[in-house]
Amino acid sequence: MEKAHVSSIAYDSGEVRLTVAGVPDQPGVAASVLAALAAADVPVDMVVQSSATTAGVNDIALMCPRGHAAAAKAALAQTAKRLKARGVDVQEDVVKVTAVGTGFRRSPKVAATMFAALAKERINIEMIATSDLKICCVVSKEHADVALRALHKAFKLGRRG
């Protein structure tokens, strides 16, 4: 069995985070949200549905390219109104930091190391997405440089900064 290995750390500052807050917790809602974005030709990444603090509702958060933020917000605002959601929030001051490698599904050690390195620097993780080849974390833009240095150090990936 191949051992998990991190080959690089990447970051993307060209995306924004959109959250549709307070959508009904029922089948078809996520489909409606993504259909609205598809109709507006908005590319999306890192779609996350989470339980809100109020029973019967969820929040759906996603990332999209900064250049599509206005179209995404307009499409989502119409959908939020139709779904009787609380509204749409756009967060522009975020970056996505990503550990790239192999074998991540077989070992939670890479994710644990990544999360611990960010925590040690007091960097809050706002969103997480994982696959066998990468682990992505959305963090505040103000912490981008510190996050990159911390992750390079944690995974012993050359000198940075």
Gap between the Cα atoms of 155 and 80, Å rounded: 41
pLDDT tens digit sequence for 57-67: 899 999 999 99
Measured distance CA(60)–CA(127) in Å, rounded = 11
**Would you list the domain boundaries of the chain?**
5-12+93-154, 15-91
pLDDT per residue over 36-55, tens digit each? 999 999 999 999 998 766 78
Nearest alpha-carbon partner for 157 in 6, 2, 4, 11: 6
Task: Kindly indicate whether the domain formed by 15-91 is annotated with CATH number 3.30.2130.10.
Answer: yes
- Across-strand partners of 109? none
Distance CA 130, CA 126 (A): 14
| Beta-bridge partners for 127 | 138
Average pLDDT, the chain: 92
CA atoms of 153 and 156, how far apart (whole Å): 5
Q: Higher model confidence: residue 63 or residue 159?
A: 63
**3.30.70.260, 3.10.20.30, 2.60.120.10, 3.90.1150.10: which CATH number matches 5-12+93-154?**
3.30.70.260
